[in-house]
Amino acid sequence: MMEFWRCCKKGAVIISSLLMLLVIFAACEEPDPPAFGEDLSSFPYNPQAYSIEVPQHFNPVPVPANNPMTTDGVALGRYLFYDPILSVDSTISCASCHKQAFAFSDNSALSIGVGDTEGIRNSMSLANVGFYDDGLFWDGRVGTLEEQSLHPIEDPLEMKDTWSNVEDKLRRHPDYQKRFRAAFGIENSNEITRDLVTKALAQFERTLISGTAKYDFSEFDWGQDQQFFSSAELRGRNLFFDEPSDPNAPHPGCSHCHTSVLLTTNEYSNNGLDEAPELTEFDDKGRGAVTGYLIDNGKFRVPTLRNVELTAPYMHDGRFETLEEVLDHYSSGGHYAPNLDANITAFPLTAEQKSDLLAFLKTMTDTDFVENPAFSSPF
């Protein structure tokens, strides 16, 4: 009997020492997030519908049924947009390349990502981006804002992170746990997914409405009499929009492609930037790489001209530094390619006409938009 107890005691000592060791080992290891995540159900969730205010001459912003706008969703999207946590080394946020002061574009020819890596395209303005949900990027390769924001995170030339890592960082972040709860009513931090990140970003982006420039007041007759075009701006406006009675007479014809409220037809065209006697000769195939049609090579989406004074440098590769250079390009008639758009033809441009056109382009600058505190960094 004694023997048995002694043996048992020894065994117990060994077992308990082993257990102790295990406990010590476990304590030394990195604390893993509990597989079950944090319970968030005690944090507030009172969704308030957010209605996007648009000027009277705008259509309503299309909002997908599976991502209704809420005040907390927009607020969360704004945090995420400005937070470098979405990049691998916490150096780059969406706002690094989409700066409010430049109408949410940036001022480098090709955008600069993590580790100062240069991208291949010029950053785009996000003014009124909620209206372009049928083809985003210069080549229209993605359909929706939700889908769009999946890309920069893992792009090695942009934020260079992985989605699983970003999800992990956000799930462990106490502030984001509460913000995702408030925006989407999730019960547990493990429900923070890329799907919800992109939904929140898209909600914030849909609020970026620019429609209070002098162009809006004068062109759409808001009755704000002090905002009417000056005579130089009006002459520029007429050069931009007017159609001569003889359609073959040389004229700028800008409004064939940049027109109406959004100042773009949102179509794809070759505006003559590169000489390409054969359609295979474009360095950047643009739309052609998306559709696979040779005829689309060298075509790019017609960009909006809203706030164009602030979005230099210009074109998909930022090749022109100033609007003067842009006008010189158009008045020269551009470079030949078999798919050069028929609306790109040489036209004479006197010094006065050039400055009139410039004056008109500057009426598209929307100071309210670039100074709106609701769009600025929340940090």
Q: Which residues bind ligand HEC (CB under 6 A)?
A: 86, 92, 94, 96-98, 111, 113, 119, 121, 123-124, 126, 129, 132, 136-139, 145, 148-149, 152, 158-159, 201, 205, 252-254, 256-258, 269, 271, 273, 300, 302-303, 305, 308, 311, 314-316, 323, 326, 330, 341, 343-344
> Which residue number, 85 or 294, has a Cβ lying nearer to ligand HEC?
85
Tell me how far, at minimum, the Cβ of 111 lies from ligand HEC, in Å.
Answer: 4
> Which residue number, 46 or 350, has a Cβ lying nearer to ligand HEC?
350
Tell me how far, at minimum, the Cβ of 28 lies from ligand HEC, in Å.
Answer: 37
Tell me how far, at minimum, the Cβ of 135 lies from ligand HEC, in Å.
Answer: 8
Distances (CA, A) of 65 to 30, 45, 62, 134: 42, 20, 9, 15
Length of the chain equals 379
> Which residue number, 97 or 192, has a Cβ lying nearer to ligand HEC?
97
> Which residue number, 181 or 199, has a Cβ lying nearer to ligand HEC?
199
Tell me how far, at minimum, the Cβ of 124 lies from ligand HEC, in Å.
Answer: 4
Tell me how far, at minimum, the Cβ of 169 lies from ligand HEC, in Å.
Answer: 14
Tell me how far, at minimum, the Cβ of 367 lies from ligand HEC, in Å.
Answer: 18
Tell me how far, at minimum, the Cβ of 155 lies from ligand HEC, in Å.
Answer: 8
Tell me how far, at minimum, the Cβ of 219 lies from ligand HEC, in Å.
Answer: 15
Question: One-letter amino acid identity for 203?
Answer: Q
> Which residue number, 73 or 252, has a Cβ lying nearer to ligand HEC?
252
Tell me how far, at minimum, the Cβ of 218 lies from ligand HEC, in Å.
Answer: 17
> Which residue number, 158 or 216, has a Cβ lying nearer to ligand HEC?
158
Distances (CA, A) of 357 to 188, 240, 323, 364, 369: 56, 7, 10, 12, 22
Residue whose entry in the numeric block shows the structure tokens 């790109």: 344
C-alpha–C-alpha distance, residues 67 and 83, integer Å: 21
> Which residue number, 170 or 308, has a Cβ lying nearer to ligand HEC?
308
Tell me how far, at minimum, the Cβ of 144 lies from ligand HEC, in Å.
Answer: 10
Residue whose entry in the numeric block shows the structure tokens 């429900």: 191
- Residue 268 pairs with which residues in a beta bridge? 301
> Which residue number, 145 or 359, has a Cβ lying nearer to ligand HEC?
145
C-alpha–C-alpha distance, residues 87 and 117, integer Å: 13
> Which residue number, 70 or 203, has a Cβ lying nearer to ligand HEC?
203
> Which residue number, 158 or 219, has a Cβ lying nearer to ligand HEC?
158
Neighbours of 12 (CB within 10 A): 10
Which residue in 120, 179, 144, 134 sits closest to 378, CA to CA?
179
